[in-house]
Copies of this chain bind each other. A is one copy, B any other.
Amino acid sequence: MSVTAEIPTQDLEARLSPGALVTDRDVIDSYASDKALFCPAGQALALVRARTVDDVVAVMSFATQHHIPVVTQGARTGLSGAANAVDGGLLLNVAAMDQVLEIDEVNQTCRVQPGVINQDLKTALAEHGLAYPPDPGSVAISTIGGNVATNAGGMCCVKYGVTKDYVRAMTVVLADGTVTKLGRPTAKGVAGLDLAALFVGSEGTLGTIVEVTLALKPALTQPITAVGIFPDTASAGRTVTEYMGSGANLSMLEFIDGPSVAMINAYGDFGLPDDVGALLLVQSDAKGAGAMEELEAFRRVAESNGGSEVFVSDDPADSQMLVAARRAVAPAMEKYAHTRGGGELVDDVCVPRSALGEFFERLALIDARFDVEVATAGHAGDGNMHPSVVFDAGDEAQVSQAQEAFAAIMQLGLDLGGTITGEHGVGFLKREWLGRELDAGARLMHTQIKNALDPLGILNPGKMFGV
């Protein structure tokens, strides 16, 4: 890879849509990273803004011919460095392939190009009385291709599952430029290995997704919302455990700890109280009286577990405001981190729901042990927590402490029978930790499959499998 100057990018340009190849260094470098911290970005040879499947094929064929890396990327909203440039490689950006190709009301499916923004798809589907539930925090800016490549989650998952639950079929371009269809658009299908499922969450290490067929739901019912206020995280954790164990089928169950609530209140007025130990935001979109029944049941469980107050509202404006408050966690933390030296590492562990109480207890110990601040929000109904480590990025000691705290949180996730990443992915950030989560057999299977499908190792090298 050291002789990139000899790679004839003009040959590639001749095979691409006009203007798709970018060799301007400043532009290339502006595409070099996603939103992850502590993930180095290499110096790419060139950027290709693909417009067609043929562009993607040309990139893969060229990369195979010259044995150079290909890093596929969409909106670069990822939090693990999976979309970061690799030295001497091609950045293959598919964000411009952004067409909704088909919306099929009878079969409740759609076919989309990878660059379609999640929220844009939701908007387009709403006109047809259909819904695509997965709603990662990046819903307004991330692409379906990226969502599929990382198996994105969100707040809906407690009831509606994650991205993989909606992927029926896809078209991918393999390392050698072969275009192939995986899966099928039908509701059922068991012909052969589930290769579409293998590609979901594969983070660009097996091929590039150029089209996706998604299963859809009928338009969801307008939810009603409750917010429960707790004196501490423990009582909130107990509430989640007991309530979910009761067989509730909520459409949202989100956790925000006290420090995060304070950051939100400093960021904007969403009607949240001050000085709370923790909040739970709950929604039910059950039909008819079912929704209010579910939220009243939540109130009873919260109150019997030490919750200090529970507000239930069927006013859509309240619902929207509370969801906006939850979505404000990320920018509010970013703003707060800015005042503390700019460093913020967002973790993403997922533990069994029954372990949430112990998780909060031991997280407090981590917070106390390291010279950083930890604030946590997350998808409590799934046991998927996002502790954010806030630190002074200009202070080497703090940076080191932050990285240790970040690692301790992942270890805590593993200790409690969970995973190092519930929805953000491995990428570069957690590649060492992937090896700790998997046993020897699973690690070897990863390598065997990667080597079988990408024998030259040109697809997103150093990500996921890296170590």
Contact = CB atoms under 8 A, between A and B. Distances in A.
A442 B182 contact: yes
A265 to B, nearest CB: 28
B464 A186 contact: no
Contacts of A165: 161, 165
A106 interface: yes
B424 A190 contact: yes
A54 interface: no
- Total copies of the chain: 2
Contacts of A188: 153, 157, 162, 350, 379, 382-384, 419, 422-423
A190 B150 contact: yes
Interface in A176-224: 178-182, 184-195, 197-198, 200-202, 206, 218-219
B129 A247 contact: yes
Interface string A380-424: 011110000000000000000000000000000000011111111
Nearest to A241: B106
A187 B290 contact: no
A441 interface: yes
Given A105-B245, A108-B244, A351-B186, A434 B192 contact: yes
A326 interface: no
21 contacts: A105-B245, A151-B190, A157-B187, A178-B441, A179-B441, A186-B382, A186-B417, A187-B383, A188-B350, A189-B350, A190-B201, A190-B419, A190-B424, A190-B426, A192-B442, A193-B206, A193-B445, A195-B198, A195-B446, A288-B290, A448-B452
Given A106-B244, A178-B441, A453-B448, A191 B287 contact: no
Contact of A190 (B423, B441, B451): B423
B191 A419 contact: yes
Nearest to A129: B247
Contacts of A439: 180-181
Contacts of A180: 439-442, 445
A289 interface: yes
A111 to B, nearest CB: 12
Nearest to A201: B190
A293 B187 CA distance: 24
Interface in A152-177: 153, 157-158, 161-162, 164-165, 174
A353 interface: yes
A377 to B, nearest CB: 15
B218 A249 contact: yes
B287 A186 contact: no
A41 interface: no
Given A245-B105, A354-B107, A452-B449, A194 B189 contact: no
Nearest to A382: B187
Contacts of A28: none
A332 to B, nearest CB: 23
A446 B193 contact: yes
Interface in A323-368: 350-354
Interface in A436-467: 437-442, 444-446, 448-449, 451-453, 464
Contacts of A379: 188
Contacts of A275: none
Nearest to A242: B106
Contacts of A104: 352, 354
A277 interface: no
Contact of A288 (B218, B287, B351): B287
B382 A425 contact: no
A290 B218 CA distance: 15
